[in-house]
Structure 1
Amino acid sequence: MMNSTQVSYFTLAAYFDTGGFKYLCFMFILSLYMLIVCSNVLLIVVICMNRSLHEPMYLFLCSLFVNELFGSSGLFPFLLVQILSDIHTVSAPLCFLQIYCVHTYGAVEYLNLAVMSYDRYLAICYPLQYNTHMTSSKIATLIALTWLFPCFAMVVLLSLTSPLQLCGNIIYKVYCDTYSVVKLSCSDTNAINVYGLIATFSTIFGSLLLILYSYMKIILVCFSGSKQTRQKAVSTCTPHLVSLLNFSVGACFEVLQSRFDMNSLPNVLRIFLSLYFLTCPPLFNPLVYGLNLSKIRVICKSLISNADN
């Protein structure tokens, strides 16, 4: 039997030999990561540096873009190292650090999207009282809760997971995650399973209830409101719905793959599905909001034109 003190590293078994193509894969992943970093940093700077964008919706967007950087930075540097490595191992502390980053990213993303739906509900359903409802202190509280709750929940989860006695050290993925480590345990994992279910369901269903409530109210107002109200709802809610759907699809892929046997699927497809929620939202969210929100689009165009001059 192998206990936790003996497991100094984990082997990531989902990697396979690509031969000379590993350098092409490395350049592709590096380009993807640089695109994610540049696009998200650009929008964070645009929002922070322009007072006209210091509104609740854009501040929540800024929190979302910071989370995209956080999640992608917890994955891509690790991937780049593993692609060039011939032995796909990772030290136990680094593995648990990646678990913390990946799971915190997922929870913060979903909570942030829920808060953004609540903000759109107030803006569309109570436009005259919006500024009194969405005060600066309330914005700060919502953003703080969006980040602090997942961070604290993950600290507790890791404190339960790291002392586990493990009977192996092979993870059949390209990155570390809690469920893969827990499956290696020789000891009782009931406490971790119960805590994981409570934390997951409170995050998912709490966020989902807020999102459904907000959009039900928005739809009712749109049906009974003017054409201008409907146009405002469509213009501001479409990017949010696209982001929500994109992340939810990716998260569902990851949950299904973790809980069910996917060995019948090709290895490349399994890797793509496991990486979807960590790569596509950080890549597409800046594009979706940068292209659809007129204020951000205009400022970005002026910055690019000034740079060219």
Structure 2
Amino acid sequence: MDDELNVTYITLGGHVEVHKYKYLYFLIMFTAYILIIFCNVTIVCLIWIHRTLHEPMYIFIAALLVNSVLFSSTMYPKLLVDFLSEKQIISYSACLFQFHMFYSLGGSEFLLLTAMAYDRYVSICKPLQYLTIMRKQTVSILLVLAWLVPVCSVAVPAILSADMKLCNLTLNGIFCNNSIYSLHCVNSKSRSLFGVVDLMFAALFPLLFILFTYTRIFIISYRSSRNVRKKSAQTCLPHLLVLISFSCLCAFDVTIVRLGSHFPKTVHFIMSLQVILYNPLFNPIVYGLKMKEISKHLKRLFWQAKMS
């Protein structure tokens, strides 16, 4: 406790030989951050510029990539500063804010993937009603809910944690996730209840809905012509790849929190980096390569840059 400023600082104890490899860590993560910003923003700009891409499917993709940039910008600057610092510390209030943004934007990613699955379901299973159902107003409402619902729901456990007494000032991690609960002297039943509710509404229910929609899509596609099956594969496969990778990362995060003390510190460190590194880089690569219209505009953009 800093008596002068009355600020509680938490030590981030999950770093591995950071003083020995700090410049290597910094170079790798700084390069990754620049690539994340460049790749995601490039595709978002392409979708923004080209009117042929102003369709719900591409708007949801752009929103997902913007979400990746926001997520990375919440995590990477602090991580980069820690690599070059003598002490890896964070104030408890800043830790709670990072915790809130980490799970809010993670929940938003799940809900955006749910909106994309619904869009594909309507497009393939109810093509004659697509324009009626997926209007601009519907797309706007889905986007607002995808960002607003997690922000409000995750705020509850963050607020409940703000006034709790701390008995431990060392966090077993390199950023603030559910591990902050291990800092508290007592477990809060109300906070645990809200955590379960958040998990159900932000991850479990969306995942079940996505599985339902894609099951229906595959059934309809199997019974339809070859062209319908080809269209389904082209538009649904990238979403499924992103969903699988993100679900695995969520499982990693839960595993890290629940079994973190049983993992070797190096394994814990690598898994923590995967949670914040993989998906923000994976998403633009998948959509850039697998979505035919986006890939076409990307090739044209790089060709023009090469010619100039």
TM-score by length of 2: 0.94
Which deviates more, 298-307 or 148-157?
298-307
Alignment of 1:7-46 (within 5 A): 8-46=8-46
Structure 2 residue identity aligned to 1:274: S
Which deviates more, 21-30 or 51-60?
21-30
Alignment of 1:102-181 (within 5 A): 102-177=102-177, 179-181=178-180
Matching of residue 186 in structure 1 with residue 185 in structure 2 = yes
Q: CA deviation at 1:16?
A: 2.9
Alignment of 1:206-285 (within 5 A): 206-263=205-262, 265-285=263-283
Indicate conservation of the 8 Å contact 1:160/1:192, yes or no: yes
Q: Which runs of 5+ in 2 are unaligned?
A: none
- Give the Cα–Cα distance (whole angstroms) in 2 for the partners of residues 38 and 116 of structure 1: 23
Q: CA deviation at 1:7?
A: 5.8
Q: CA deviation at 1:261?
A: 4.5
* SS in structure 2 at match of 1:128: helix
Call closer, same or farther: CA 1:186–1:6 in 2, change over 3 Å: farther
Q: Which runs of 5+ in 1 are unaligned?
A: none
- Give the Cα–Cα distance (whole angstroms) in 2 for the partners of residues 188 and 36 of structure 1: 37
Q: CA deviation at 1:50?
A: 1.1
Q: CA deviation at 1:86?
A: 1.6
Structure 2 residue identity aligned to 1:69: V
- Structure 1 segments of 4 or more deviating over 4 A? none
Indicate conservation of the 8 Å contact 1:7/1:169, yes or no: no
Q: CA deviation at 1:262?
A: 4.4
Q: Which residue of 1 aligns with 2:70?
A: 70
Q: Cα deviations across residues 45-102 of structure 1 (Å, max 9, x unaligned)?
A: 1111111110000000011001100111111111111111121111122212211221
Indicate conservation of the 8 Å contact 2:8/2:92, yes or no: yes
- What root-mean-square deviation, in Å, do the aligned CA atoms of Structure 1 and Structure 2 show? 1.8
One of 288, 293, 298 as aligned partner of 2:291: 293
Structure 2 residue identity aligned to 1:72: S
- Give the Cα–Cα distance (whole angstroms) in 1 for the partners of residues 129 and 276 of structure 2: 37
- Give the Cα–Cα distance (whole angstroms) in 1 for the partners of residues 22 and 304 of structure 2: 39
Call closer, same or farther: CA 1:267–1:171 in 2, change over 3 Å: same
- Give the Cα–Cα distance (whole angstroms) in 2 for the partners of residues 262 and 120 of structure 1: 42
Structure 2 residue identity aligned to 1:236: T
Q: CA deviation at 1:20?
A: 4.3
Q: Cα deviations across residues 168-210 of structure 1 (Å, max 9, x unaligned)?
A: 2110101112x22222212451110111111111221220121
- Give the Cα–Cα distance (whole angstroms) in 2 for the partners of residues 89 and 196 of structure 1: 25
- Give the Cα–Cα distance (whole angstroms) in 2 for the partners of residues 18 and 199 of structure 1: 34
Q: Which residue of 1 aligns with 2:54?
A: 54
Q: Cα deviations across residues 255-286 of structure 1 (Å, max 9, x unaligned)?
A: 012112543x3322211212323211100110
Call closer, same or farther: CA 1:188–1:234 in 2, change over 3 Å: closer
Which deviates more, 122-131 or 49-58?
122-131
- Give the Cα–Cα distance (whole angstroms) in 1 for the partners of residues 299 and 218 of structure 2: 33
- Give the Cα–Cα distance (whole angstroms) in 1 for the partners of residues 93 and 273 of structure 2: 21
Structure 1 residue identity aligned to 2:268: R
Which deviates more, 200-209 or 44-53?
200-209
- Give the Cα–Cα distance (whole angstroms) in 2 for the partners of residues 6 and 14 of structure 1: 25
Which deviates more, 55-64 or 213-222?
213-222
* SS in structure 1 at match of 2:128: coil
Q: CA deviation at 1:157?
A: 2.1
Q: Which residue of 1 aligns with 2:97?
A: 97
Q: Which residue of 2 aligns with 1:204?
A: 203
Indicate conservation of the 8 Å contact 1:44/1:66, yes or no: yes
Which deviates more, 163-172 or 9-18?
9-18
* SS in structure 2 at match of 1:10: strand
